[in-house]
A = this chain, B = another copy of it.
Amino acid sequence: MQTLREAIRPTTLIRSAKLCDHLGLDITIASETFQHTGSFKFRAAYELASNVPNDEILTASSGNFGQALAYACKLVGKRCTVVMPATSAKVKIDAVRGFGAVVDLVDTAVKGRNERVAELAAQMPDAYHASAYDDEYVIAGNSTLGDELAGRGFDAVIVPVGGGGLISGVITGLRRNGDTSAEIYGAEPLLGNDATRSFRAGHLIANETEPMTIADGARTISLGDLNWPIIRDGAIDMIEVSDERIAEAVRIYFGSANLKCEPTGALTLGAVLEDIERFHDRRICLIVSGGNVDPSLYSSLIAG
């Protein structure tokens, strides 16, 4: 079996003069769109699937973690069940099934994902119940992206935030490599701004319901218990991004960087668009977390 470092693809660093000139900023994109299964989630999923002793793994996921875990389980020869909202992007549902996992669709207006997972967990007592973010293996897997970004001279690294699995991993990776100069920002949908409210209040605050933002990878109720203290102590700020800015960012990546990006992945450029002045004269790194998006939605986004 391959180690995590052997199994993952290094992130793809992209610099576009057109993008930098367009915004008047010094931007490096760290794109996880070419990671296995099309998002950073494979880092976490492989670390988890290859380390837990259980032969069966159960998770809830809006799509990318499910797809990554399904593929990781296939690689290491384990069984996998993924609970997904019925509103998930079709490409993501199909992809999970394509890797041989069982998909359990739940209407989140009727029953919460966590509730459904609890039901299934009771039926599958030998399964490992994996959170897509609130799990030590997940943070450890995602920390490899921090390792890759450390020591590159970035003044600011902006990270998409849903449950906080990626940003807590990136903080962990950057700091253990001695990179203390990169300020780490979270970028989350304005429609589900629990991380921003938590960060300002100094304690965890949850959304009332799953936010229906276009950034379907960030439709989370709250940050995870394991992620929160890492974020509280390691991030410099959280930035709320409107769905309009997210769409604009997807369109700019298409036109100025030839990058196919999903809405959740565009949160970080969206955060920059919310306040361009803030990032003047700084070397900024935008993490693009994934690229999986339905063609019909994508077409409507790039049409503007």
A202 close to B (CB within 8 Å):
no
Of the candidates B34, B71, B295, the one whose C-beta lies within 8 Å of that of A254 is B295
SS class, residues of chain A in contact with chain B: helix
A18 close to B (CB within 8 Å):
yes
Contact: B258 with A291, CB < 8 Å? yes
A139 CB → nearest B CB, Å: 25
The interface-forming segment of A9-17, A145-153, A185-193, A226-234 is A9-17
A214 close to B (CB within 8 Å):
no
The interface-forming segment of A158-166, A238-246, A277-285, A296-304 is A296-304
Of the candidates B9, B259, B304, the one whose C-beta lies within 8 Å of that of A260 is B259
A263 close to B (CB within 8 Å):
no
- Chain B residues near A91 (CB-CB < 8 A): 255
Q: Measured between alpha carbons, how far is A229 from B38 in the docked complex, in Å?
A: 41
Contact: A17 with B33, CB < 8 Å? no
- Chain B residues near A295 (CB-CB < 8 A): 251, 254-255, 302-304
- Chain B residues near A18 (CB-CB < 8 A): 37-38, 95, 98
- Chain B residues near A296 (CB-CB < 8 A): 303
A36 close to B (CB within 8 Å):
yes
- Chain B residues near A71 (CB-CB < 8 A): 17
Contact: A303 with B292, CB < 8 Å? no
Indicate with 1 or 0, residue by residue over A87-112, a CB within 8 angstroms of chain B CB atoms. Answer: 00001000100100000000000000
Contact: B12 with A36, CB < 8 Å? no
- Chain B residues near A298 (CB-CB < 8 A): 254, 299, 302
Contact: A17 with B34, CB < 8 Å? no
- Chain B residues near A292 (CB-CB < 8 A): 258
Contact: A34 with B258, CB < 8 Å? yes
Contact: B258 with A33, CB < 8 Å? yes
- Chain B residues near A259 (CB-CB < 8 A): 34, 260
Q: Measured between alpha carbons, how far is A33 from B257 in the docked complex, in Å?
A: 8
Contact: A12 with B12, CB < 8 Å? yes
Q: Measured between alpha carbons, how far is A255 from B299 in the docked complex, in Å?
A: 13
Contact: B34 with A14, CB < 8 Å? yes
Indicate with 1 or 0, residue by residue over A20-48, a CB within 8 angstroms of chain B CB atoms. Answer: 00000000000001101110000000000
A2 CB → nearest B CB, Å: 13
Q: Measured between alpha carbons, how far is A118 from B109 in the docked complex, in Å?
A: 68
- Contacts A38-B258, A258-B291 known; list 14 others, CB within 8 Å: A9-B15, A17-B36, A17-B37, A17-B71, A18-B37, A18-B95, A18-B98, A33-B258, A34-B259, A295-B303, A296-B303, A298-B299, A299-B299, A299-B302
